[in-house]
Amino acid sequence: MKGIEHKIIGVIIFILFYYFKLFPEIINNFLSNYFNLAIGFIICIIFSGGRINSKSLINFGLSPDNDFHKKQKRSIIFHSALFPALAIILIPNAFIYLISFFYSLHILVDLLNPLSFEGKRHTYFLIFISVILFFVMIYTY
């Protein structure tokens, strides 16, 4: 899946989750003023898709697809929710929660679309577990 498609899904989730207050409480509180809302929106666009080495602004991003590997050789470390989970344990603030949320959302979207996911079956399972654990964590931690 292309970075731009990931971003579009990210923006839709952002709007829905903001409107219906479905984010974890720490993020809901953070987004309660317009300045933070703008910051949250920018985080959503940058982290839900795109690559750092992209020359066009629209495809630029700090998403999990930045491991620079071919699809089949994706680094399971980067293309899983391992780092987001560690980040919110080490630095539990709303900013980190937002970044981790959209970074992990990217991976979740990849999992839902097996055509864009070229990993082996056990890799898929490990990544699936990491994403589930991450989302359970942010809604209970």
Listed in order, strand segments (DSSP E) in the chain are none
When binding is defined by CB under 5 A, the residue of 65, 98, 99, 104 that contacts Zn ion is: 65
Distances (CA, A) of 73 to 52, 69, 117, 131: 18, 6, 11, 19
* Candidates 26-34, 54-62, 90-98, 102-110; binding stretch for Zn ion (CB under 5 A): 102-110
Query: Hey, how many other C-beta atoms are within 10 angstroms of the C-beta on 66?
Result: 17
**110 belongs to the binding site for Zn ion (CB under 5 A):** yes
Crossing angle for the helix pair 121-140 and 94-112, to the nearest 10 degrees: 150
Torsion-angle region of residue 50: left (phi > 0), alpha (psi -120 to 50) or beta?
Answer: left
81 neighbors 97 (Cβ within 8 angstroms): no
C-beta of 65 vs 102, nearer to Zn ion: 65
Residue 110 CB, shortest distance to Zn ion, in Å, is 4
**84 belongs to the binding site for Zn ion (CB under 5 A):** no
Residue 29 CB, shortest distance to Zn ion, in Å, is 29
**23 belongs to the binding site for Zn ion (CB under 5 A):** no
**3 belongs to the binding site for Zn ion (CB under 5 A):** no
C-beta of 99 vs 110, nearer to Zn ion: 110
Binding site for Zn ion (CB under 5 A): 65, 110
